[in-house]
């Protein structure tokens, strides 16, 4: 009897492990999505996210499944998460644009300063790991140049290797800063999406406070502060107010 229980335990454990394997879940969800069962695909994609298999491709496919269900707020949320991980993906950017065309709020954003746009575009050229690899390459080059400097025979070569070492070290620290900036951008929890059909933006973190304006599902907001169950937010045109945390979801 004890052996039978052990056998059943191992069989059950294997089934659970199989059912919760992120890669298998992802492949199964893709297959179901292609078959047109978008509700089941969403369920499996979401289960995949909870299992820890978070990637730009997964969020993109989850966004597509929500889009097919005409749940544009959730589609935008997941497209934004995919864009956060892979800012230069043209498919993500295009689908995000299409999803945003189905939202109610058409808010004209305050123009970004040119250097802010340039900096964001620059740090988004590569992901965190790629920037880190480039930075390490410059560090190794700096070490090589330093060794060449120590063993250089002539003053001209010592000067060359000294300048090369200095330049590559400065480049290394700059790239390290870029890497940290990219990582900070990736792990920032300041951006969110309104997920409820509509939500009043209040003048203070209180249900009885004045209604300033209303936002609808799919609108992107920036979180400035929080107090208990309330979030202080800013929208693209610069307007500020308070909203219940139940009305939004962090990107």
CATH 2.30.30.40 is held by the domain 191-250: yes
**251 residues of the chain, pLDDT tens digit each:** 554 444 444 444 444 444 557 788 899 999 999 999 999 999 999 999 988 888 999 999 999 999 999 999 999 999 999 998 888 899 999 999 999 999 999 888 877 788 888 898 899 888 888 999 999 999 999 999 999 999 998 999 999 999 999 999 999 999 999 999 988 877 777 899 999 999 999 999 999 999 999 999 999 999 999 999 999 999 999 999 999 999 999 99
Instruction: Evaluate whether 1 touches 32 at the Cβ level (below 8 Å).
Output: no
CA distance 231 to 191: 11
Tell whether domain 2-100 is in CATH 3.20.20.70: no
Q: Model-level pTM?
A: 0.74
Q: DSSP class of residue 1?
A: -
**The 248-250 sheet, strands edge to edge:** 211-216, 198-202, 240-244, 230-234, 220-227, 191-194, 248-250
Residue ranges per structural domain of the chain: 2-100, 115-186, 191-250
């Amino acid at each position: 009897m004890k052996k039978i229980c052990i056998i059943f335990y191992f069989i059950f454990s294997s089934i659970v492990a199989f059912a919760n394997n992120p890669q298998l879940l992802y492949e199964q969800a893709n297959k179901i999505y292609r078959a047109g069962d978008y509700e089941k695909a969403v369920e499996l994609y979401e289960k995949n996210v909870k299992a820890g298999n978070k990637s730009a491709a997964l969020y993109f496919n989850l966004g597509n499944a929500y889009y097919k269900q005409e749940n544009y707020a959730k589609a935008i949320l997941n497209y934004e998460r995919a864009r956060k991980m892979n800012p230069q993906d043209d498919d993500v950017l295009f689908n995000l644009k299409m999803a945003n065309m189905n939202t109610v709020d058409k808010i004209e954003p305050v123009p970004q300063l040119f250097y802010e746009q340039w900096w964001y575009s620059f740090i988004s050229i590569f992901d965190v790991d790629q920037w880190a690899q480039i930075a390490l390459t410059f560090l190794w080059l700096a070490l090589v140049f330093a060794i060449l400097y120590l063993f250089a025979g002539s003053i001209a070569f010592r000067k060359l290797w000294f300048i090369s070492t200095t330049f590559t070290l400065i480049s290394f620290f700059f790239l390290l800063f870029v890497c940290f900036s990219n990582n900070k951008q990736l792990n920032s929890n300041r951006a969110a999406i309104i997920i409820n059909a509509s939500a009043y933006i209040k003048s203070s973190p209180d249900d009885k406070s004045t209604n300033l304006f209303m936002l609808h599902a799919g609108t992107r907001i920036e979180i400035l502060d929080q107090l208990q169950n309330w979030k202080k937010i800013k929208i693209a045109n610069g307007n500020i107010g308070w909203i219940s945390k139940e009305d939004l979801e962090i990107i």
